[in-house]
Structure 1
Amino acid sequence: MQLLQGALRTYAWGSRTAIAELCGRPVPSNHPEAELWLGAHPADPARLLIGDRSVSLLDAITADPAGQLGERARAGFGDRLPFLLKLLAAEEALSLQAHPSAEQAKEGFAREEAAGIPLDSPVRNYRDDSHKPELVVALTRFEVLAGFRDPHRTVELLRALDVPALDNYIGLLAGQADSSGLRALFTTWITLPPPALSALLPQILEGCVRYLSGPATERRYAREVQTVLGLGESYPGDAGVLASLLLNRVTLEPGEGLYLAAGNLHAYLHGLAVEVMANSDNVLRGGLTPKHVDVPELLRVLDFEPLTGPVRMPAALSGSPVLVYDTPAPEFSLSRIDLSDGGQSHPVSVDFELAGPRILLCTAGSVTLRSGDATLALERGDAAWIAAADPAVTAAARSATAQLFSAAVG
């Protein structure tokens, strides 16, 4: 059981306040802080703090896979940590993106390796051979575009914009209001020649402005339309703005989760969240970014089935303050532990899942962890690595209330 120092990633869409404030550092930060990686991904592994030195978690696992990972994790995933835990802070929209299935990732990685495309090449799609299911849990209100909306509702939205230039596209989807119609319309929009896109987008944005100026009782899609206007301003001339019209617009309140399996087109828009995923960095982008967009490859991996009810509420373990976010992903599980002091410490077991390694992240208050004779204090923003060989771990609040997230093998 050791303190774990995350690897900070600075991207332009990140926040200068959210992660720094959570971790108790001065705000604003010098650069936009987008993600704090807590895991053993080769691109940026976290570090174990041992006395006055630090050791890469990746190196520690490589040196002692049996002790760090345990037999169950090794049997399923070999000598690598199968999950990556993150803090994610979006001040601006992330790129519109999807992730491949396990089969697609293996094939794509092998294909690009055979083609000799360097791993750090900006046109590389597959940086490893793993799929990337992911679960995000909001710490603040968290705004998301996630999965294709029911096509009947999308037809209703497009008609409400009252843009004549949309009529043919509306007819395309209305005539086949299913995944095939969504595929046809998305493919048409994402491959529009620049002159056609430049002519269509301003008309749609003008329709959005008119829509928001209408009677409040007729603005059922106000949130979706406001999002399109915001993206149109930030990414002028980007086909991803058109694609956003086809996606579910979701708001997660603190504690609510969103699970995204392979192929679901999505974009995180704004907010602070805990995210856990398979230990992969494979991203196929569809717009809202200056980075590489490989449209044919994106179309190969996208799932055009409408995504319904994407928000996930955690389920409480009986007689315990532990809340579990259920997903089908075998690489990870995520649980939240809401602790209270009540005038005295009440230890809670964090070994409620199957044996194996885990990462604990304190997101509110402060806690004391105990494993055998060893104790470890976590303040808000601190994380701990629990090796498979460590004795059973309990957590107790050191403040009136505290919150702890636990990521483990699924």
Structure 2
Amino acid sequence: MRRLHNMTQAYDWGSTSDIPRFLGRTGSGEPVAEMWLGTHPLAPSQIETPAGLRPLSDVAGEVPFMLKILAAEQPLSIQVHPGAAEAHEGFEREEAAGIPLDSPQRVFKDRNHKPEMVYALSTFDTLVGFRPTAEILRVFSQLDSPTINAASATLRAKTGFKGIVRVLENLLIAPPPAAEIAQLVIQCKALVHDGVDIKRAYSTAAMIARHHPDDVGIVVSLLLNRFTLQPGEAVFLGTGVIHAHLSGLCLEAMANSDNVLRAGLTRKALDPDGLIRCLEAGMSRVARVEPGYPSFSTEVYHPAVEEFALAVTQVSPADPDGVSLISATHSIIMCIGGGVQVLNEQGEKISLSRGETIYTDAQDGELTAVGTGEVAQIYLPGPNTPDSELKDLVGHRPVRAIP
């Protein structure tokens, strides 16, 4: 059980204040978008040892998961994460082409797939998954432009997922000219003030246009569901699920990967063809994760992936002997509120305030937390870790099992 030191990422969509405030620091005025916890080579955590700081991978090997704090002040790119086969093939292809890992043209940073889960720390707005065809047509029915009219005709001729993908493909291959996008934004702004019942689609497009005024992503956003997560709610983004986070502070739990296929709202490398290829067939995994309760104080979110589960535990003086945490082969624990002490079976203890983190492994045995606060723990689930129920965010129906 040892303390971690973690790296932050200064992407331009990040908040200037949320992560510094979360960590109890004074912001520099520059955006801080993410803090990474894990062993990914692009931003590996350092672990305290008697000999000083060392890469976490020196002690733990390659940890199969990664945890991030993400703070969005502007919309992120429209993106999809690849499955295992696509990730391995893409990485080998770019390695053979000699594209450096830190090149702006690099898409595949590793060989891993990247299923992920968002756990909201504040009100968190995101676009996830495609709207049903009928709803997209209703959104389009209030707009008038050559691109929208052509897309509507495509959806009427080819309903369901295949028709929506054809529309997306057409938008990415031949984006509408800037003047047409500008006129669509004007129409969207007018519809927001008209009080139409689907005005949130138009307000989202207008908001995105403030940051990316000529981007085809403005039009693509009209195809996507917008959701607002409240603190403590979680949504699972399986590989192949199209999404774009809009604003707020969250934890992201994921497999140990930084593979992202982008198709708009970014200055980073775009791979629209790759995004289309990696889209999951079907529209049934826009999924809220319902937690399990192994104890009165702990919620466990395990969206049926091998690499990670996330436990959130309330620690209170009402439990004078402390609250049990999850014991696992690999675990990273972060205090996300208040202040706690974590004790292992050998009697070692480390105090954590908000934003501070430790790494634990099987040698620590039973883990206990005391104090007044809240901790999040990402860990490698065992074979007996129960899967969380996944609920359709659109219809609140059970979601089919993940292969």
Q: TM-score, normalised by structure 2?
A: 0.90
**Cα displacement (A) at 1:304:** 5.1
Corresponding residue SS for 1:245 = helix
Answer whether contact 1:150 1:307 (CA < 8 A) is retained.
no
Answer whether contact 1:148 1:305 (CA < 8 A) is retained.
no
Answer whether contact 1:5 1:48 (CA < 8 A) is retained.
yes
1:326 aligns with 2:326: no
Matches within 5 A, 1:7-22: 7-22=7-22
1:363 aligns with 2:336: yes
Matches within 5 A, 1:332-371: 332-342=308-318, 345-351=320-326, 355-371=328-344
Cα pair distance change 1:161/1:338, threshold 3 Å = farther
- Identical columns (%): 36
- The separation in 2 between residues aligned to 1:172 and 1:223, in whole angstroms, is 23
**Cα displacement (A) at 1:53:** 2.7
Counterpart residue number, 2:374: 403
**Cα displacement (A) at 1:293:** 0.8
Unaligned runs of 5+ in 2: 382-403
- The separation in 2 between residues aligned to 1:12 and 1:209, in whole angstroms, is 25
Answer whether contact 1:165 1:203 (CA < 8 A) is retained.
no
Cα pair distance change 1:30/1:56, threshold 3 Å = farther
C-alpha distance after superposition, 1:343-381 (max 9, x if no partner): x634121136xx311001110011111112111111111
Answer whether contact 2:130 2:224 (CA < 8 A) is retained.
yes
Amino acid across the alignment from 1:118 = P
Corresponding residue SS for 1:161 = coil
- The separation in 2 between residues aligned to 1:263 and 1:40, in whole angstroms, is 24
- The separation in 2 between residues aligned to 1:333 and 1:374, in whole angstroms, is 25
Answer whether contact 2:129 2:242 (CA < 8 A) is retained.
yes
Counterpart residue number, 2:399: none
Amino acid across the alignment from 2:30 = H
Cα pair distance change 1:304/1:242, threshold 3 Å = farther
C-alpha distance after superposition, 1:317-341 (max 9, x if no partner): 2x42110113021111111112222
C-alpha distance after superposition, 1:245-301 (max 9, x if no partner): 111101110000111111111111111111111101111111001111122222211
Answer whether contact 1:146 1:248 (CA < 8 A) is retained.
yes
1:135 aligns with 2:121: no
- The separation in 2 between residues aligned to 1:165 and 1:114, in whole angstroms, is 38
Counterpart residue number, 1:380: 354
1:254 aligns with 2:231: yes
Answer whether contact 1:136 1:259 (CA < 8 A) is retained.
yes
Amino acid across the alignment from 1:188 = N
1:212 aligns with 2:207: no
Q: TM-score, normalised by structure 1?
A: 0.88
**Cα displacement (A) at 1:118:** 2.1
Matches within 5 A, 1:209-358: 209-214=189-194, 216=195, 219-303=196-280, 305-307=282-284, 309-317=286-294, 319-342=295-318, 345-351=320-326, 355-358=328-331
Answer whether contact 1:163 1:207 (CA < 8 A) is retained.
no
C-alpha distance after superposition, 1:194-253 (max 9, x if no partner): xx4324312321221221121x3xx22222211100112211221111111111101110
Unaligned runs of 5+ in 1: 63-79
C-alpha distance after superposition, 1:81-125 (max 9, x if no partner): 100011111111111111110011111111222222222222121
Amino acid across the alignment from 1:381 = G
Amino acid across the alignment from 1:369 = V
Query: How many residue pairs were aligned?
Result: 380
Answer whether contact 1:252 1:311 (CA < 8 A) is retained.
no
Amino acid across the alignment from 1:119 = L
Corresponding residue SS for 2:236 = strand
Q: Which runs of 4+ in 1 moved over 4 A?
A: 162-165
